[in-house]
Chains A and B, each alone.
Chain A
């Protein structure tokens, strides 16, 4: 079964700092990759997704992610964060050939941006 690891559980940074959140998955086949954000008290929102093609994916709110197949990684980046980026960030993987077509989430990274 596939698994997803997010290495940082908590990240604290100041406004205008750069953000990078790590995500690794374990599955050898074809995958779809996602980053979701959940603002305090709110529902999941899709930040960006990777299906195929250019491994550098741009999403909403200035976020981007890079798929490195050889490293089984899909790290999220933002060059300059804002206070409003304070949220929980979830990486998720769908292993397309695996039974059931399940979306598996990483444990999440809680990001706090100090004004």
Chain B
């Protein structure tokens, strides 16, 4: 079981819909990540939030809009997606040793998105 919780586990949406993916962790981690994983491919980084501020945007299209309301929550707002955006969306948080961030990411189980 993972300590990073993602909802929903599965989502089907049309190209005109607006939906959101949610991620939550209560491990006290201060950096959170969104990755996208297509079938048979490695995860690709989308966004990084550090101390609730967006620190990395890997040139992701604006139809994906991240939000970090607080240190435990991370959202990904979806609007006007394309069928090629269908993928597994993974949330992760970065571990700490004492108060020092480590390089280890803790992944959620993912939200499997299908865009029709």
Interface residues of A (CB under 8 A from B): 31-32, 34, 36, 42-44, 46, 49, 51, 88, 90, 94, 96, 100-108, 110
Contacts and interface: CB of A to CB of B under 8 A. Distances in A.
Q: Main SS of the interface on chain A?
A: strand
B103 A43 contact: no
The 8 closest A-B pairs by CB, nearest first: A32-B103, A94-B103, A105-B42, A43-B109, A100-B56, A44-B107, A103-B105, A108-B42
B66 interface: no
Contact of B48 (A51, A96, A102, A108): A102
Q: Main SS of the interface on chain B?
A: strand
Name the interface size band of chain B. Answer: 20 to 34
Nearest to A104: B45
Contacts of B40: 88, 108, 110
B2 A43 contact: yes
